Amino acid sequence: MTKIQPFALIFVNFLLITFLWIFFRSDSITSAFGYIHNIIYSDKLVNPFIIPELKYATLTMILVVFFVIVEWSSKDNEFAIEKIFSNSLKPIKVIFFGFILFLIGMYSSIESSPFIYFQF
């Protein structure tokens, strides 16, 4: 197996799972197929970067890449961050854990009433 192959497999696997989620998240099979139809026949398929909402997906994409790297670097361990930075200096390890803690605090999804007056 060449070095490139595992990454290609991860990418294909990621695409397949994402595609399957359409069926799991849809209200019905009909709406799932409708969604797929729109993906195929929408002009946005040609250039997804023209979607105005793309900026909201930027963060998700960055986080996905970050977590894939973390998972990949610890693929031989039971837990993703079990031995991460174990050979590094303690402050670096604590900064990393602090960053993970921060990501949880900043991006954890907790339900709240919609904002009416605040525009972000």
Partner 1 sequence: MKEFIHKVIRIGIFLAIIYLIFLCIWGLFLPTYINKNLKYKLGLSGYMNTRLKEADTISKVDILFLGSSHTYRGFDIRIFKKNGFDCFNLGSSNQTPIQTNLLVKRYLNQLKPKLVIYEVFPENFEMDGLESGIDIISNSNSLLFAFENAKMVNHITAYNTFLYSSIRKFLFKDLYFKESSKIVDDYYVNGGFVQTDKLSNQSDYNAPISKRNWNINKKQWDAFLETISLFKNENISFLLVQAPVCKSFYYSYENNNEIESKFKYVGQFYNFNNDHYLMLDEKYDFYDLHHLTQTGVKKFNNRLMEVIEELGILNLILNE
Residues at the interface with partner 1 (CB under 8 A): 55-56, 58-59, 91, 94-95, 97-99, 101-102, 105-108, 110, 112-113, 115-118, 120
CA proximity to 15, closest of 43, 39, 49, 41: 39
DSSP 111: -
Residue 54: CB minimum distance to partner 1, A? 11
Reduced to 3 states (helix: H, G, I; strand: E, B; else coil), residue 38 is: helix
Q: For partner 1, which is the closer residue by CB, 11 or 102? A: 102
Only one residue has tokens 């361990």, namely: 77
Rounded to a whole number of angstroms, the minimum distance from the CB of residue 89 to partner 1 is 13
* Distance of closest approach, residue 118 Cβ to partner 1, in angstroms: 6
Given the complex with partner 1, which of 66 and 99 has the nearer CB atom? 99
C-alpha angle with apex 45: 41 to 48, nearest 5 degrees? 150
